[in-house]
Structure 1
Amino acid sequence: MFKKIVNYSKACYSELAHNTTWPTRAELTHSAMVVLSASLVIAVVVFIMDSAFRFVMGTVYPH
């Protein structure tokens, strides 16, 4: 069983060290900016929808 664990660890290391393509700093920065922008857009859309529903519910069911 110990031999299986060692072989698995060696295979994982080999895969990460030799076969994985890591992004460059520029690619990573670009991807992070895309994710940040998309998150901001989604947050704004959710805020607008929440405000609209709050207005409609406040109109239909006044306090």
Structure 2
Amino acid sequence: MKKLKLLTDLEESYTELRYKTSWPTRTQLVKSAIIVLIASIIIALIVLLMDQVVDNIMKLIYSFKN
């Protein structure tokens, strides 16, 4: 009985993915990928900047200790 339900679920999933899902065009996919790449680079630069600021603050704090 469980195998039949599994097969039914797989068939329904395939049908939905094949006929009811709207897939992006190649152009839309490339544009989205470029946007994600640019956003990732910007976020990485922000994190790098924050890391550098915290690093310099910590160096300043530890320089007073010695």
| TM-score, scaled to structure 1 | 0.92
1:54 match: 55
Q: What pairs up with 1:20-31 in 2 under 5 angstroms?
A: 20-31=21-32
| RMSD over aligned Cα atoms | 1.1
Corresponding position: 1:4 with 2:27: no
Cα drift, residue 10 of structure 1: 1.0
The 1-side partners of 2:51 and 2:4 are apart by 57
3-state SS of paired residue (1:61) = helix
How far is 1:26 from its partner? 0.5
Structure 1 stretches of 4+ moved >4 Å: none
Deviations 1:23-53 (A, max 9, x none): 0000000110111001000000000111011
**How far is the alpha carbon of 1:4 from its aligned partner?**
1.0
Aligned length: 63
Structure 2 residue ranges without an equivalent (≥5): none
